[in-house]
Amino acid sequence: MPLYHINLPPVRRYLTVKEVAKILEVTPLTLRNWDKKGKLMAYRHPINNYRIYKAEDIEFFLREIESQGKISLG
């Protein structure tokens, strides 16, 4: 079973919508929809209110998908 780990500098614990979309191979719109549906919750940047994701949450999400045997993320 492959282990997912996103390598970021220690000060970069959060990822943008664009970065997460690339990692999960989905569109940014899909991520926004998942956030609205509660499938993958985003945090909000305190200054600009953009959606951001914790790297550890994305790693957990990838492990959950793999453990459930799901192929499609969409």
Domain boundaries, the chain: 14-67
**Orientation angle between helical segments 28-37 and 17-24, nearest 10 degrees:** 100
Average pLDDT over residues 30-55: 94
Closest C-alpha among 23, 60, 27, 26 to residue 41: 60
Cβ–Cβ < 8 Å for 34, 25: no
What pLDDT sits at residue 18? 95
Q: What pTM was estimated for this model as a whole?
A: 0.74
**Is the model's pLDDT at 41 over the cut of 90?**
yes
Q: Residue 74: how many CB atoms within 10 A of its CB?
A: 9
Range 14-67: architecture per CATH:
Orthogonal Bundle (1.10)
